Amino acid sequence: MSVELSVGKKVSVTVPGSSANLGPGFDTLGLAVGIYDTVEVEVIASGLEVEVFGEGQGELPLDGSHLVVKAIRSGLAAADVHAPGLRVVCHNNIPQSRGLGSSAAAAVAGVAAANGLAGFPLSDAQVVQLSSAFEGHPDNAGASVLGGAVVSWTEVPVDGRTEPQFKAVNIPVHSDIKALALVPSFHVSTEAVRRVLPTDITHLDARFNVSRCAVMTVALQQDPSLLWEGTRDRLHQPYRADVMPVTAEWVNRLRNRGYAAYLSGAGPTIMVLGTEDVAQSLLDEAREQGIRVLPLEVAGPVEVKVLK
């Protein structure tokens, strides 16, 4: 029988955004970046109250279909506790549907909040599992839970009945590496952008991506000079270029200037990793085109504070 949480218990969660794929590591590599959503969750006597400020305000649902609420309930169930009612207040800074892990961050925030309300019975691995289940892959969620860079994978049981197991482990990031996000004004649907990907690829392209994914793990950990080579990809970015021409143009322009630019997640955000600043003239031109320029640090893990 589940334990009922006491009215008035309250937690605050600060969760970083993330950049997935990092070029060749499709659904595998992720990086936590320093743009944050904050979610406050309080146990109330009954009902559900949801408020959203910042990104998504006036657009996101304010009922039980809100992803943070669904994730809270998933986390509470896993911790075997029950809340008579919930008040959820979201302060969002991560742009929605732009390839910076807003959905994964919402799922992580909800599960982490539930874990805090319950007294932290869930391990990091369990938080990764529960939050990744909402999207079906753990690259973004794993990065937001663990911080830094992650290698992630999914174990699909052969029995057809057991749920997939989502896994992620940290890899250290060289202290000189910083990120720069160029965020276009338009949204994209992750599922719509996935539909342009082919069902089969050549053995040559598969070999290319395996090698660059390996190079990327070395670049992140010990040799940032390899970041340009490590962000090369033939698995997904070439196929997505036609549906995001502005993004593709900027990725190519930056790479032609020697910057390790890639499509962040499903896009349309362009991410640049490196140790040197991008030329100011390029950033000024991007801003003139209505593209937001966000200098970002590599972020740490999700943080949960018990307030009451």
What pLDDT does residue 92 have? 98
Instruction: Pull the structure tokens for residue 65.
Output: 């279909």
What pLDDT does residue 308 have? 77
- Domain positions in the chain are 3-173+298-306, 178-296
What pLDDT does residue 229 have? 98
What pLDDT does residue 74 have? 97
* 251-280 exposure pattern, b = at least 16 Cβ within 10 A, e = fewer: beebbeeebbbbbbbbbbbbbbbbeeebee
DSSP character at residue 253: H
What pLDDT does residue 88 have? 98
- How many C-beta neighbours within 10 Å does residue 47 have? 9
What pLDDT does residue 120 have? 98
CA distance 87 to 105: 18
DSSP character at residue 63: S
- Helices and strands: H and E segment counts in the chain: 10, 13
Q: What is the pLDDT of residues 211-239, one digit of tens each?
A: 999 999 999 999 999 999 999 999 999 98
What pLDDT does residue 121 have? 97
CATH class of the domain at 3-173+298-306? alpha beta
CA distance 284 to 115: 43
What pLDDT does residue 1 have? 65
Instruction: Pull the structure tokens for residue 305.
Output: 């504070």
CA distance 239 to 42: 44
Regions of the chain short of the pLDDT cut 50: none
The matching CATH number, chosen from 3.40.50.10470, 3.30.1360.170, 3.40.50.300, 3.30.70.890, for 178-296 is 3.30.70.890
The residue type found at 295 is P
Strand partners, 33: 17, 298
Residue 138: name the closest of 163, 172, 160, 118 by CA.
163
